[in-house]
Chains A and B, each alone.
Chain A
Amino acid sequence: MDVLGNYKSVISARSTDRDILKKAQDGGIITTLFAYALEEGIIDGAVVAGPSDEPWRPKPMVVSTKAELLAAAGTRYTISPNISLIKEATRSYGLDRVGIVGTPCQIQAIRKAQLYPIGMRDVDDKIALALGIFCMENLSYQALEAIVEDHCNQKMESVKKMDIGKGKFTVYTERGAVSQMPLKLIHKYVQPGCNVCLDYVANLADISSGSVGSPDGWSTVFVRSMKGNAVWDGAIEAGLFETKPMDQVKPGLDMVKKLSTDKITKNQKNVDARKTAGLRADGTPKGLRNPYESP
């Protein structure tokens, strides 16, 4: 598979909904698509990263209204274990058509749960829309706290928006202060599991989206599956997105391809290096497990 995965089309897009754009990280793609899918009955509810009682700590949540979607809009740069709710959504909430948003690894988890539903009873045919977000790496909540409070010197509860772009991690506060730190310094905080990840643009999602490749306030959108294609066409027809062809925006698809290639090349090296990690008494390497080979 290509570094960008299989896709039917790639577009630069922005939501036409002002309420959503005010809350959204970039082009408001995920929020708008879920709002549309809810409205059209394509999904009965969606598993999203909702707010919790700690600032910027997301909590997986099943939502079924636009107001709830808006409360969950925007990126929080830490782990939200959304997959923990998919069986709950179909069984406790009784949803027949579930939408779910996730990072590339979470979308992989969904596809595994559909193809090998070992403990995921009655889930496989109820995933109606799996939306993926581009992801370079993720942070534990404690790591995010260290970055915002120690490196950027801002209190978590005073932060209005966090953003990653142009090699910087940027924090905007409610009172208008802007703090930045170089992205390079973040790498030591990244959770180790991300270092073996071979997917940047959520290759297995129905539709995946992220800011990279598009101008500020816009998002790059990959439409990947038949299901995703139908939903995207419907949303476009309903006038929910402004779009521009990818070859007419800066920095364009080459940027996405470059970052994806960088990530996969770096992490493939990590995967290979695991084979020879550690040392036994007889001088042979112990090696670490390669999940892409066997359990």
Chain B
Amino acid sequence: MAEKITIGELHLSGCTGCLVTLADNYEGLFKLLDDYADLVYALTLVDVRHVPEMDVCLVEGSCCLDDKLSVEELKEARAKSKVLVAYGGCAAYGNITRFCRGGQWNQPGHASYVPISEVVDVDLFLPSCPPCPQAIRNVAVMAYLLLKGDDEQKKLATAYLTPLMQLAQRGNEACGCDLMYDVINQGLCIGCGTCAGTCPVRAITMEYGRPNINRDLCIKCGACYAQCPRSWFNFDVMNNYESIMNVIKGAME
């Protein structure tokens, strides 16, 4: 077994749901920690007070500009990590820390809570509220292959992670409306229902083959657009879904 990578979780203004999601891999988390990654920094899970050097930093929560420590720690985490991940809707898009529930007037304080990419460069987005345990597991395995694998594994991991990196370049505002602007108005929607199935707050229903978004329920987590098969569909990865799933399954056994 090659040496492990180091992963940390920086907890900013979030609800700890993302961190719990990491733990929701149950025995999978132990497998990850045994063989692939050392957890070097995380609220409650690791007794380390100061942001250390790490390969992958998962940032949970948005960054409160009024809180000097948050801003400093985020910048420090950026400087000390090879890959910085906006882990979850708040870090990527602000999510509920910015808009409370969709449609409500945002409070004066909400202006302070910014997606982390307003403060530092972010390499990779992992949206949704919370993200899925399987998504962070897959990203962790791929990050390991990227940093410690052989050439072929590096190639696979790069192909796998590319769309999530492109997502980070796309912008830091998300809404159910993305489906309207970037899928339907682009003539790409096929009415498959993925968005409705994905939405963590059931803000999307399918009406005559198209998503209908309840603006008052949408929490701006970005899950629907990222999960939509027409936001991106990378054939180089998808066509090998069977072998890739076996790679991940094999890694977790």
A in complex with B:
yes
Which listed residue, B128, B193, B233, touches A84 by the CB 8 Å rule? B193
Q: How far is the CB of A201 from chain B (nearest CB, A)?
A: 14
- Contact residues in A for B221 (Cβ distance below 8 Å): 119
Contact A88 B197 (CB under 8 A): yes
For residue A97, CB closer than 8 A to chain B, the reply is no
Q: Is A279 an interface residue (CB 8 A)?
A: no
Among candidates A115, A194, A289, residue contacting B186 with C-beta atoms closer than 8 Å? A289
Which listed residue, A88, A119, A194, A288, touches B190 by the CB 8 Å rule? A194
What is the CB-to-nearest-CB distance from A277 to chain B, in angstroms, rounded to a whole number? Answer: 9
Q: Which 4 interchain pairs have the tightest Cβ spacing?
A: A81-B193, A84-B193, A119-B223, A79-B209
A118 touches B241 (CB 8 A): no
Contact of B192 among A109, A226, A294 (CB under 8 A): A109
Which residues of the partner chain A approach B224 to less than 8 Å between Cβ atoms? 119
**Partner pick for B193 among A60, A114, A193, CB 8 A cutoff:** A60
Interface residues of B in 178-230 (CB under 8 A from A): 182, 186-200, 206, 208-209, 221, 223-230
B: number of interface residues (CB 8 Å): 56
Q: Which residues of A contact B242 (CB under 8 A)?
A: 225-226
Task: Check B132 against A105 for contact (C-beta < 8 Å).
Answer: no
| Residue from B167, B206, B231, B241 in contact with A115 in the complex, judged by beta carbons closer than 8 Å | B241
Residues of A bordering B, CB below 8 Å: 1, 6, 60, 78-79, 81-88, 102-103, 105-106, 108-109, 111-125, 138, 140-142, 191-198, 203-204, 225-226, 288-289, 291-295
Q: Are A120 and B189 in contact (CB under 8 A)?
A: no
A79 to B192, CA, bound (A): 8
Say whether A112 contacts B135, CB under 8 Å: no
Q: Please pick, from A102, A113, A123, A142, the residue contacting B208 in the complex, using a CB distance under 8 A.
A: A142
Question: From residue 153 to 170 of chain B, which have CB atoms closer than 8 A to chain A?
Answer: 160, 163-164, 166-167, 170
B51 close to A (CB within 8 Å) = no
Contact A289/B227 with A118-B128, A204-B239 known, Cβ cut-off 8 Å: no
Q: Is B149 close to A, CB under 8 A?
A: no
Q: Quote the shortest CB–CB distance from A189 to chain B (angstroms).
A: 12
Question: How far apart are A193's CB and chain B's nearest CB, in angstroms?
Answer: 4
* A169 vs B126: C-alpha distance when bound (angstroms): 44
> How many angstroms between the C-alpha atoms of A86 and B197 in the bound complex?
7
Cα A112 to Cα B166 with chains together (Å)? 16
A140 and B208 contact, CB distance less than 8 A: yes
The verdict on A119 contacting B128 (CB below 8 Å), with A102-B192, A111-B238, A191-B209 known, is yes
Closest to A88 in B: B197
Asked if B127 contacts A111 (CB within 8 A), the reply is no
A81 CB contact (under 8 Å) in B196, B232, B233, B239 = B196
| A6 / chain B contacts, CB cutoff of 8 Å | 239
B135 touches A117 (CB 8 A): yes
User: What are some 15 contacts across the A-B interface (CB < 8 A)?
Assistant: A83-B194, A85-B197, A88-B197, A105-B229, A109-B193, A112-B238, A119-B127, A119-B128, A119-B132, A119-B200, A119-B227, A120-B198, A120-B227, A122-B134, A291-B229
How far is B224's CA from A109's CA once the two chains are assembled, in angstroms?
12
